[in-house]
Structure 1
Amino acid sequence: MKEIWTIIGAGMGGKGLAAQLGIDGLRLRIHDVVDAQVAGIRAAGGLHVEGRDKDFAPIEMATTDLAAAVKGASVLLVSTYGTVHEQVAQQLAPLLEDGQAIVLIQGHFLGAAGFRAALDRAGCKARVDVAEMDGYPYMLTVKTPDRVLLTSIKEKWSLAAFPMARTAAVLDRIGPAFPGLGPASNMLETAFADLGGIFHAGGIITNVGRVEGEGDYNFYASNMVPSVCRLLVAMDRERIAVATAFGAKTVDIAGFLADTYLFKDMTVHEALQKMAVTHYRYAPAPKSLEHRYLVQDVMCGLVPIADFGRLAGIPTPTTHAVIQIANALTGRDFLAEGRNVQRLGLAGKSIADIKSMVAH
């Protein structure tokens, strides 16, 4: 019998994983806390898939019962918002079994380290691997609760385990299901490679009228005008400066777009406009400031960049400005709520301490 993989979180990301891995022949279960997210899958016995040579991905279990979903599964793919990783870890802690691998898709800045710490705080005794990907692998649209349109797969993305010594073992285990996935040098590399805070938050705060206005729109085609792209590049320079201070190798957003989508020899504006009409042509755009593009990607993307910059003495004025505008727009304090140094358990640590932690 093939081993069983369980997907935790049946939103767009979880359904995309279920669709692609299901038509690839893996034995799958899928869980969500909201029954409406899994009821259609349960009734159909899987997901209808468009855009691939197979049109149906069978799923053995679609449930709100986390214990049933986890029992006997060898790999758990966590596809939830980064803002609830700690809550998911607490719920999983008493249910886990020795030998299971937990992979966060995606980690959202040291997510695996935070997930491991949350498991420990919850008293987890099972010996499990915890790892994170630096990005989500697929482009897709959820058309109905039991139907997914898969478009394209990223050419390249990375995985890191915590501790790093387990990266090769986790990659050997799941790598065949994810062509293009490779090992990161350390978890700071996957942390600083998460560009959601730059693309998404930058694109939302400069287009609030469109987000809260009437009518649908294409996020990248409509929002990524040349001036917004200049803002993204300014934020990106700060990300790279902070990453460099921590010894994390990372490419700029133009290099990311070339490596991931093969958009070579283009400006950032040209690449994002091409991405809008290819990979993200059918992707629904945010219609609320509570969307993950703002809340999650500021809390788990921009806040750690700004706070790690503070720790390293690297100015991040543009990143701070975007966070402060997000605060003003929503009435929240994302610097306090987000993945800051304190919340990551790194208060009082030096740069050398943090580099050693993620390496060893």
Structure 2
Amino acid sequence: MKSLEIAVLGGGNGSYAAAVDLTEKGHEVRLWRRDAEAFQEVLAKQQIILKDHNGSRVVSLSLASTDIKEVIQGAKLIVIPLPAFAQQALAKQLAPVLEDGQVLFLPPGTFGSFLMAKVLGEEGCKAKVSFAETGTLPYLARKYDEQSVSISGRATRLPTGVFPSNQSDDALEILKIAFPAIEPIQDALDGALMNAGSIIHPPLILMNAGPIEHFDRWDIHNEGTQPSIRNVHKVLDEERVRVREALGYLAPHFPLDDHYNVEGEEWMYGNGAHDKLVDGKDWFEPLNLNKHRYMREDIACGLAFLVSLGEWLGVPVPTAAGLLQIASAVIGEDLRTTGRTLENLNLASKTKEELKEILNKGLHHYEVS
């Protein structure tokens, strides 16, 4: 197997999982994290403890560092499993250290490929890089603490689009070495509209808001996933698919029903993934409705983006819009105004044809600032 130099950025579940999994696959992996205090044990030992179906073991990294230039330098692939709300600030840090030919992978992206490319341009970055984004993390993972991670599942299908899409062949060739489950799709917006979190999590946290705030423990993926909530999931996902179709994106759309069904079309984590998820002990986590990434990423970024796209296209998305309005009321912030929208990305004035041209050729062909 061909080996890559890979930089993994971040200190969350997905970043730790990527660092250890890609290391065990034979790649040279360097891990960067901004928070030196939380990263202290990993920095000292240059190791992370991994637990999965094969047991528990120590994985030694090529490098763990808080120096972003040291981690980025020479890496062919840069894996960024950070929340969408961190992408803008990270792009500013990356601007002076990126190199020609690097591929930045956002799993998932929430159209962060466009946002980060825009910020890099504003920061004067001259490196010729490409972005790719997919619909979910490559791993079902949870950190026990700041020096260990548990991986309970790995993605079997990763629909992935590249920005700009005219660089797809080269970018996907690199990506498939690290993530063989990648399936090429049209472009980065195609990838953004595969984002499962923006469909799964808004109904789960908003329709379970009372139990979340009342009980000391409430698992939204287990007792919180009841038939009434699944009905909302289904309608919300149908709105996502209608938006995709209005943009000319073709099946497979990876409908959320396939995540819950034991049989039928294989979803991103394989058949029966939901049952495996709730059977494990890793998936419960406490929720602060104001701060949690399900609100700040999946609703403020993902759901707001879907609503703005639907309105721009003239495609009704009443369930998405209603959930976004309820979320805004819950946290006291108008997320349709402040969230990740076509308006805030300076794309609302573009035609569909102009947007497709930007997706294909990149930002330097159009003024979007």
Q: Same fold by TM (over 0.5)? A: yes
Q: CA deviation at 1:316?
A: 1.3
**1:84 aligns to what?**
86
Q: Residues 130 and 276 (structure 1 numbering): CA distance in 2 closer, same or farther, change over 3 Å?
A: closer
3-state DSSP of counterpart to 2:42: helix
Q: Residues 211 and 40 (structure 1 numbering): CA distance in 2 closer, same or farther, change over 3 Å?
A: farther
Question: 2: distance between equivalents of 1:84 and 1:140?
Answer: 19
Q: CA deviation at 1:157?
A: 1.0
3-state DSSP of counterpart to 1:47: strand
Question: 1: distance between equivalents of 2:126 and 2:115?
Answer: 17
User: Which runs of structure 2 are paired with 1:292-307 in the superposition (5 Å)?
Assistant: 292-307=293-308
- Letter paired with 1:312: L
User: Which runs of structure 2 are paired with 1:1-360 in the superposition (5 Å)?
Assistant: 3-51=4-52, 53=54, 55-108=57-110, 110-249=111-250, 250-255=253-258, 257=260, 258-263=266-271, 272=274, 274-278=275-279, 281-289=281-289, 290-360=291-361
Q: Residues 213 and 62 (structure 1 numbering): CA distance in 2 closer, same or farther, change over 3 Å?
A: farther
Q: CA deviation at 1:198?
A: 1.5
> What is the aligned length?
351
Q: Residues 170 and 76 (structure 1 numbering): CA distance in 2 closer, same or farther, change over 3 Å?
A: same
Question: 1: distance between equivalents of 2:242 and 2:4?
Answer: 43
Q: CA deviation at 1:299?
A: 1.9
- Letter paired with 2:116: F
- Letter paired with 2:282: Y
What are the ranges of 5 or more consecutive residues in structure 2 without an aligned counterpart? Answer: 261-265, 362-369
- Letter paired with 2:17: G
Question: 2: distance between equivalents of 1:331 and 1:119?
Answer: 31
Deviation digits for residues 131-168 of structure 1 (CA, Å, limit 9, x no counterpart): 22222111122112111121211110122221112122
- Letter paired with 2:94: L
**1:268 aligns to what?**
none
Is contact 1:198–1:235 with CA below 8 Å preserved after alignment? yes
Please identify, of 119-128 and 41-50, the stretch whose mean Cα deviation from structure 2 is larger.
41-50
Q: CA deviation at 1:281?
A: 4.0
3-state DSSP of counterpart to 2:294: coil
Q: Residues 37 and 17 (structure 1 numbering): CA distance in 2 closer, same or farther, change over 3 Å?
A: farther
Question: 1: distance between equivalents of 2:57 and 2:232?
Answer: 41
Is contact 2:254–2:268 with CA below 8 Å preserved after alignment? no
Q: Residues 203 and 359 (structure 1 numbering): CA distance in 2 closer, same or farther, change over 3 Å?
A: same
3-state DSSP of counterpart to 2:70: helix
- Letter paired with 1:158: P
CA-atom RMSD in angstroms: 2.1
- TM-score after normalising by structure 1: 0.91
Q: CA deviation at 1:2?
A: 5.8
Q: Residues 254 and 3 (structure 1 numbering): CA distance in 2 closer, same or farther, change over 3 Å?
A: closer
Question: 1: distance between equivalents of 2:212 and 2:243?
Answer: 30
Deviation digits for residues 250-279 of structure 1 (CA, Å, limit 9, x no counterpart): 232113554224337xxxxxx74x24434x
Is contact 2:161–2:185 with CA below 8 Å preserved after alignment? yes
Identical pairs, percent: 26
Is contact 2:218–2:224 with CA below 8 Å preserved after alignment? no
Q: CA deviation at 1:355?
A: 2.8
Question: 2: distance between equivalents of 1:256 and 1:209?
Answer: 26
Deviation digits for residues 51-99 of structure 1 (CA, Å, limit 9, x no counterpart): 1548222113222222222223232111211112111111111111222
Please identify, of 300-309 and 22-31, the stretch whose mean Cα deviation from structure 2 is larger.
22-31
3-state DSSP of counterpart to 1:34: coil
Question: 2: distance between equivalents of 1:239 and 1:281?
Answer: 31
Is contact 1:6–1:69 with CA below 8 Å preserved after alignment? yes
3-state DSSP of counterpart to 1:220: coil
Question: 1: distance between equivalents of 2:314 and 2:168?
Answer: 31
